[in-house]
Amino acid sequence: MQSLTELYKIGNGPSSSHTMGPKRAVEIFKNKHPEATKFKVILYGSLALTGKGHLTDYIIEKTLEGIETEIGINTEYKCEVHPNTFDIFALKDNEITGSWRVYSVGGGTFQVEGKKEISKEDVYSEASFGEIKEYCKNHKCDLYDYVCNIEGNEINEFLNEIWKSMQLTIKNGLSSDGIIHGKLKLDKRAKKLYEKKIENEDDITKQNRLLSAYAYATSEENATGGIIVTAPTCGAAGVLPSVLYYMKNKYNIEDDRIIKALAVAGVIGNIIKTNASISGAECGCQAEIGTACSMAAAAATYLLGGNIEKIENSAEIGMEHHLGLTCDPIYGYVQIPCIERNAVAAMRAMECSSLAMMLETERKVSFDVVVETMYETGKDLQSHYRETSEGGLAKKYCRNKYYNMDMKE
């Protein structure tokens, strides 16, 4: 598995696979071809179908600003390697001087066909929860100690910056109102949720209101292209921060312990990223929101004092009950159902943690088995349920509108 620095990334929304990954790839390619007088990019698969709604064309043009750039969209070609695929060409005097085929695999990570050196090297020898649990047993340590043993104590400085960024995003989102750009013209709701007065509000209602407000705050910042942290992706960035922010305030938890919970959540995200996928275009929203819910549930259980068995149980519950979740954003925007889905997953993560803390009997299904199942389920999903906006809620919404709007525009 790779370092947690490759899982948590600070950057602009609205999509880690549609904006952050392509941006990083294009930046590196541009620097490798200073001779270029023109760049040509061709988007395929999900990048072609929902790229405009996800601002793919915008971020590429902005990254290559100052140099002539041509962006083509090919919705017919189906890449067998990954649905988030694009070609980029460098030209000088209309002659091609270099090219890459790029796969944006989720979470802002990308791979280049035939160029393994682009990918970061693994730093963890263990690749499954079972192997990690055995390591912790043999070394008499918990999951946080495991991360520090492998990555060194300097990982704490990185996680501290991640936590600061998450909190700032929530605060920005809670103070913002107005309309989110795009055809849907959604009202921002985080501030209203946070300030809402409910007569005789009980503890559970208050918990859910605050969790939802924090999740909406992050997701609305993401939808407007603001700064967020991939956890594990942009589209699912609101789940983990909302749970951590809520628990910090409710239980007066010190930041040092929150950072440890971030490390624990990172282990869960890394296992899924390594053995399955965190890409909605590859495995549906179960890979994004399901992973985020598992990460948040594990972090909450750690903060509540749960041992490694209960942490695994909470993560397993979080993923198991998101199996089959489709990715069908209306018009390709990371807005409906994405924003609301972050709030629902944050509330569910707390429930998963609570259930895991109560259960005493031995589990029949391991976290590793659920991760494998999620990957197989994602591969079985028809393509129009995997971030193409060609089916599900996205198609139904447009069919029921009094006017027909082109999904690719």
Model confidence band, residue 311 (pLDDT cutoffs 50, 70, 90): very high
Lookup: tokens for 260: 């440890």
What is the spatial distance between Cα 33 and Cα 25, in angstroms, rounded to a whole number? 13
SS3 92: strand
What is the structure's pLDDT at 401?
59
N- to C-terminal Cα separation, the chain: 38
Give this prediction's pTM.
Answer: 0.90
Hey, what are 382's tokens? 């028809």
Whether 402 shows a pLDDT value over 50: the answer reads: no
Helix (H) and strand (E) counts for the chain? Answer: 16, 7
Per-residue pLDDT band for 293 (boundaries 50, 70, 90) equals very high
The string of pLDDT tens digits covering residues 144-180 is: 999 999 999 999 999 999 999 999 999 999 999 999 9
Per-residue pLDDT tens over the stretch 114-154: 886 555 689 999 999 999 999 999 999 999 999 999 999 99
Residue 400 pLDDT > 80: no
Q: Where are the alpha helices (DSSP H) in 111-200?
A: 129-139, 143-151, 155-174, 190-195
* Full DSSP string of 22-50: HHHHHHHHHHH-TT-SEEEEEEEHHHHHH
* Element housing 197 (H / E): none
What distance in Å separates the CA atoms of residue 33 and residue 228, rounded to the nearest whole number?
30
Contact criterion met (CB below 8 Å) for 313 and 363: yes
Q: pLDDT confidence of 404, banded at 50, 70, 90?
A: very low
What is the DSSP annotation of 293-358? HHHHHHHHHHHTT--HHHHHHHHHHHHHTTTT--B--GGG-S-TTHHHHHHHHHHHHHHHHHHHHH
Count Cβ atoms below 10 Å from residue 125 Cβ, excluding itself: 10
Query: Which phi and psi (to 5°) does residue 90 adopt?
Result: -100, 135
Calpha distance 340→325 (Å, rounded): 14
Residue 187 or residue 16, greater confidence: 187
CATH superfamily of 14-118: D-3-phosphoglycerate dehydrogenase; domain 3 (3.30.1330.90)
- Burial group, residue 197, by CB count within 10 angstroms (0-12, 13-18, 19+): exposed
Residues of the chain with CATH 3.30.1330.90: 14-118
Q: Which residues partner with 386 through β-bridges? A: 327
